Amino acid sequence: MTRQRITNEIRSALEEGIEAMMAAAADRTGAKLPTERELAERFQVTRHAIRQALERLEAKGSLWRHVGRGTFRGRRSEAEPLAADVTDFCSPRHILDARRMVEPSLASLAAVNATPSQIAEIQATCRRCAAARNMDDYEVFDEAFHRAIAQGSGNPLATELFETVNQARKKIVWGAMRRAVLRPDRRAFFSEQHREIVEAIARRDAHAAWQAVMSHMETVAQTYETLRQGEPFIV
């Protein structure tokens, strides 16, 4: 059996499993699904695999999603307002600029406000990200790392801003950059920058945390720019 065939079988089984779970949970349109993280744990797959399955099920009309509110069974009701997708008007540069504005401040707040358990989660996701052996695992833990920092900020509105920018990042920037950016050497360099961010947050140094994330954002921006221009990437 080929690897591609196995992959297709797993994808089909995952979609069938999610549809069966939705049917068992509630026999009505509008029932809310568990989060991507909960689904990944339930089906023992990566969040990237869950995200792809949800995208295919949404295209089939089995469910619909609303950033910041969740994923719901059935087709979107006509009464449900369909907000304009801001990503339709964004470029990768817009996303990178937004990350520069949001994420350094979140890290600065986390250095001040994060609880010991939240700092432990930031440290744990940093280690998992550094230990990732493939792009799928790295992507999952990289997202979890930045989300843990946002949650450690203690500001739910700022955390929601992070989620909005993160959704746009995955749609506009990450999809195009993913394979080029996540080579082992670049993953290692990004992981070292993550470690510097964690150390600043753990010692409650808000200014150093802000600077460490800004440095990370500048590296991401440089990476994207060199890829866009077709130039070799040098760190």
Burial of 88 (0-12, 13-18, 19+ CB in 10 A): exposed
Residue 69 confidence (pLDDT) above 80: no
The total of structural domains in the chain comes to: 2
Region for 68 from its dihedrals, namely left if φ exceeds 0, alpha if ψ lies in -120 to 50, beta otherwise: left
Region for 66 from its dihedrals, namely left if φ exceeds 0, alpha if ψ lies in -120 to 50, beta otherwise: beta
Indicate whether 34 and 116 sit together in one domain: no
Report pLDDT for 50: 85
Residue 166 confidence (pLDDT) above 90: no
Report pLDDT for 201: 98
Residues 98-153 have pLDDT tens digits of 999 999 999 999 999 999 999 999 999 999 999 988 877 888 889 899 999 999 99
Residue 202 confidence (pLDDT) above 90: yes
Residue 70, phi then psi, degrees to nearest 5: 130, -170
Query: CA angle, 221 as apex, 152 and 65 as ends, to 5°?
Result: 55
Does residue 129 form part of some domain? Answer: yes
First-to-last alpha carbon distance for the chain, in angstroms, is 41
Does residue 235 form part of some domain? Answer: no
Of the three residues 38, 73, 108, the one that is the final residue of a domain is 73
Q: How far apart are CA 181 and CA 20, in angstroms?
A: 36
Report pLDDT for 179: 59
- In one-letter notation, the amino acid at residue 88 is D
Residue 186 confidence (pLDDT) above 50: yes
Q: How far apart are CA 158 and CA 92, in angstroms?
A: 21
Check which CATH number belongs to the domain holding 46 and give it. 1.10.10.10
Residue 221 contacts by C-beta under 8 Å, 6 or more apart in sequence? 96, 100
Q: How far apart are CA 214 and CA 164, in angstroms?
A: 19
Indicate whether 45 and 115 sit together in one domain: no
Indicate whether 149 and 219 sit together in one domain: yes
Residue 81 confidence (pLDDT) above 60: no
Least confident of 5-9, 13-17, 181-185: 5-9
- In one-letter notation, the amino acid at residue 139 is E
Say what angle helices 36-43 and 3-25 make with each other, to 10 degrees: 120
Least confident of 35-49, 65-79, 204-218: 65-79
| Element containing residue 64 per DSSP (H, E) | strand 63-66
Report pLDDT for 115: 96
Of the three residues 73, 95, 125, the one that is the final residue of a domain is 73
Indicate whether 90 and 166 sit together in one domain: yes
Query: CA angle, 100 as apex, 166 and 119 as ends, to 5°?
Result: 70
Indicate whether 106 and 219 sit together in one domain: yes
Report pLDDT for 228: 65
Indicate whether 214 and 127 sit together in one domain: yes
Say whether pTM exceeds 0.85: no
**Encoded tokens for 231:** 């130039």
Residues 86-100 have pLDDT tens digits of 666 677 788 889 999
Does residue 157 form part of some domain? Answer: yes
Does residue 91 form part of some domain? Answer: yes
Of the three residues 73, 95, 129, the one that is the final residue of a domain is 73
Check which CATH number belongs to the domain holding 207 and give it. 1.20.120.530
Burial of 38 (0-12, 13-18, 19+ CB in 10 A): exposed
Indicate whether 15 and 116 sit together in one domain: no
Q: How far apart are CA 148 and CA 120, in angstroms?
A: 10
Indicate whether 51 and 106 sit together in one domain: no
Closest to 195 (Cα-Cα) out of 172, 216, 175: 216
Indicate whether 215 and 160 sit together in one domain: yes
Report pLDDT for 181: 61
pLDDT-derived band at 82, boundaries 50, 70, 90? very low
Indicate whether 43 and 104 sit together in one domain: no
- In one-letter notation, the amino acid at residue 8 is N
Indicate whether 65 and 98 sit together in one domain: no
Report pLDDT for 152: 96
Indicate whether 64 and 92 sit together in one domain: no
Range of the domain at 127: 86-228
